[in-house]
Amino acid sequence: MNIDRIKQETTTKKISYFQSIDSTNSYLLKHGECGEICISESQSAGRGSRGNTWVSPESGSLYFSLYWCFDKIPETWSLLGLLVGIAIAETLEDIGLKGHGIKWPNDIFWRQQKMGGILVETVNQTGKLVIGIGLNLKLSKQDQAQIDQDVVSLETAMQGQPFFRDDLLIVLINKLSYHLDSFKNLNKDHFINLWNRWDILYGEIVTVLHQGHKLTGQISGIDSQGRLGFIDTKTNEELFFSSADIRLKALNKI
């Protein structure tokens, strides 16, 4: 990885690069400063959402985190994780990928297989946060055997079309910076339309596990707070769930 080139072609001021680390997010939460990026070739204790482990073998995939600071907490704060997903989806489109999207709230999918994930963690409720991103760029059969769900690599999804990891990272950093810089002026209606373009769950019949109860219904999109809309099959009532209290198991596509 060409660190000097990444610095020259992005707005980042500092890059901490490791061959191996416990977690890029954990490193920045302890040692990071505004605008800093942490990259590692592998993680021994990578973390996903809801306390899940993110398997992070040294396979040429991408594990990195960005420490970002807002002057004050934006009113649109609840949409931030979804915005990061959009930035990743747009980046993958820019390098030539097709057929991908976002599974609410924080997973990148290609043809119903997981390609990447996002973990956003705040720093003392101060407007500072760490955005962690993991993308499967390459996966061996041994790597896949360690993961307990259907996963796919970008290499497979690109179907022989070449891509370069440094180019991908540069586009992604710049895309994130653009969206984060304009986040405080976000138009919610425009954002929802943008999200709908990448939402792979919209209109799907799914099973929702919520507080020990199993519900079946249809996904109806997101509201202005980024909560997931769900129309219960039995009652026809529309419910809204936040990322903190829901797990999805789709019957069709996921």
Domain that includes residue 211, residue range: 205-250
Per the CB < 8 A criterion, the answer to whether 63 and 40 are in contact is yes
pLDDT the model gives residue 124: 77
Are residues 88 and 105 part of one domain?
Answer: yes
With a CB cutoff of 8 Å and minimum separation 6, the contacts of 215 are: 207, 208, 209, 230, 232, 233, 239
Looking at the structure of the chain, the number of domains it has is 2
Each residue's pLDDT tens digit, 29-81:
999 999 999 999 887 766 555 555 555 555 668 999 999 999 988 888 999 99
Rg, Å, the chain Cα set:
18
pLDDT in tens, 177-188: 999 999 989 999
Same domain assignment for residues 183 and 225: no
Average pLDDT over residues 154-174: 94
Residues 94 and 161 in one domain: yes
Q: State residue 1's pLDDT score.
A: 86
Statement to judge: residues 217 and 121 lie in one domain: no
Q: Give me the pLDDT at residue 45, please.
A: 64
Who contacts 33 (Cβ-Cβ below 8 Å, separation ≥6)?
A: 14, 67
Give the C-alpha distances (Å, rounded to integers) separating 5 from 1, 24, 72, 119: 9, 20, 31, 26
- Judgement on whether residues 192 and 243 belong to the same structural domain of the protein: no
Confidence category of residue 244, pLDDT binned at 50, 70, 90: very low
Same domain? For 25 and 113 the reply is yes
CATH number, domain with residue 210: 2.30.30
Domain CATH code at residue 193: 3.30.930.10
The larger pLDDT score, comparing residue 106 to residue 146, is at 106
Residue 30 tokens read as 């302890």
In this structure, are 136 and 236 located in the same domain?
no
CB atoms within 10 A of CB 9: 16
Quote the tokens at residue 195: 């999200």
Q: pLDDT of 121-159, one tens digit each?
A: 988 778 899 999 999 998 767 666 666 668 899 999 999
Query: Residue 208 CA to chain centroid, in angstroms?
Result: 20
Instruction: Kindly indicate the confidence band of residue 227, based on its pLDDT and cuts at 50, 70 and 90.
Output: very high
* Averaged pLDDT for residues 98-121: 93
Helix (H, G, I), strand (E, B) or coil at 160: coil
**Average pLDDT of 192-207?**
92
At 49 the pLDDT is 52
Residues 160 and 242 in one domain: no
Is there a single domain that holds both residue 104 and residue 184? yes
Tell whether 165 and 102 lie within a shared domain. Answer: yes
Locate 74 and state its tokens: 């934006």
User: 177 and 212: one domain?
Assistant: no
**93 and 176 in a common domain:** yes
Neighbours of 147 (CB within 10 A): 15
| Residue range 99-107: mean pLDDT, rounded | 93
